[in-house]
Structure 1
Amino acid sequence: MQKLNLRRRGILSALAAAAAGIALADGAREAQAAPQAPVRWRDHFPSLARGAILADLRQRAVLFWSEDGTVHRRFPAAVPAARDLSRVGVTRIIRKVEGPTWRPTPAMRERDPGLPVSLPPGPGNPFGTHALCLEWDHFRIHGISDPALLGGEVAHGCIGLHNADIAELFSLARVGTQVRLI
């Protein structure tokens, strides 16, 4: 009887979660969290001068606020794997590149000497369609063409957005936009 009650409670919990729009974990898949409370730019930046980008590595999201505060966007992101995370803190965009050429970092070449020296823009380029270059060496917010990577961890330290999202962020952000990784 107790086994039946537990099963019934499990089914009711699943139905309640589905009605609330929350996915439950089943096997290898992780449960999706309920929507988070809105993030306030004031909690992370002293002002919106030149706009602001917050890369929240725990939430696997990139948030953008325009300089005048009228535009706010949130994009799902692929974030660095814990072993590859070398930076958190404040930086800024120093260059914007449409159709970036990908070059492996020295650490990537050390791990895999067979990597090509570079890949030109186009299909198969890990930087996708656009890249926002940060002050930190070898660190970018760039596109990815595989949506399955979004919300997950990827290697090599960069922040990845779906190509459509990086194109939108690319159009909104400008050189000098402040960026904070938390």
Structure 2
Amino acid sequence: MTIPRRTLLLTALAAPALMSTPLRAQVAGPRANISSFQMQDWRGHFDHIGKGAILADLTSRALHYWGADGAYRLYPSSIPMTEDLTKRGYTEIVRKREDPDWRPTASMIAADPSLPRYVPPGPQCPLGTRAMYLGWSAYIIHGTHDTRKIGRPSSSGCVGLYNEHVEELYELALVGTQVRLL
């Protein structure tokens, strides 16, 4: 078997470039498919753990939890639909509720007058099976029955989790757990 000179020459010229390119960049597909969903260290975001700490990273659509006992959890989340619905900064969990009910805010009704004025607990409730209310009025970390919302901009300001994840977090996170939305 003979290899044409042109093939040898092109291979020799391309080899250094291929060897210096990270393997990740050689994989077929657009760069947008490379996930930013990765572990974080709490120390860059909080002075201490205290009762626990939650970081909702809206860019990577991930919620990180650190417990005072050293527990660490990482959950995929939904995020607000638009930047003007997004609140960023530090707050804390001020109350928790199993099987929450839901009432849309006045701004939600203004944006969509067809919304029901009240939804009782259950499979139609947009807050899922658990809700952790933050120090900011109308901002909640909650579950969802609509699993298509996770990983997408789909909320009116809240951070949504799969119901099984919010149930786990609900047991771990105490009232007073510090929260940062980034």
Note the 1:24-35 alignment, pairs <5 A: 24-25=29-30, 31-33=33-35
Quote how far apart the aligned CAs of 1:85 are. 2.8
Quote how far apart the aligned CAs of 1:84 are. 4.0
The residue type paired with residue 24 of structure 1 is G
Gaps of 5+ in 1: 1-15
Q: Given the alignment of the two structures, is residue 66 of structure 1 paired with residue 38 of structure 2, yes or no? A: no
Residue number in structure 2 paired with 1:99: 99
Quote how far apart the aligned CAs of 1:117 are. 1.2
Note the 1:16-31 alignment, pairs <5 A: 24-25=29-30, 31=33
Q: Percent of aligned pairs with the same residue?
A: 44
Aligned-CA RMSD value: 2.4
Question: Aligned partners of 1:105 and 1:90: how far apart in 2?
Answer: 22
Higher Rg of the two aligned structures: 2
Deviates more, 1:128-137 or 1:75-84: 75-84
Question: Aligned partners of 1:78 and 1:159: how far apart in 2?
Answer: 6
The residue type paired with residue 33 of structure 1 is S
Secondary structure at 1:128's aligned position in 2? coil
Secondary structure at 1:148's aligned position in 2? helix
Question: Aligned partners of 1:107 and 1:168: how far apart in 2?
Answer: 31
The TM-score with structure 1 as length reference comes to 0.81
How many pairs align?
Answer: 162
Contact kept, 8 Å, 1:23 with 1:32, in 2: the verdict is no
Quote how far apart the aligned CAs of 1:73 are. 0.1
Change (3 A) 1:111 1:23: farther
Residue number in structure 1 paired with 2:180: 180
Question: Aligned partners of 1:108 and 1:35: how far apart in 2?
Answer: 30
Question: Aligned partners of 2:149 and 2:94: how far apart in 1?
Answer: 26
Residue number in structure 1 paired with 2:46: 45
Residue number in structure 2 paired with 1:56: 57
The TM-score with structure 2 as length reference comes to 0.81
Question: Aligned partners of 1:50 and 1:171: how far apart in 2?
Answer: 13
Gaps of 5+ in 2: 1-22
Quote how far apart the aligned CAs of 1:146 are. 2.2
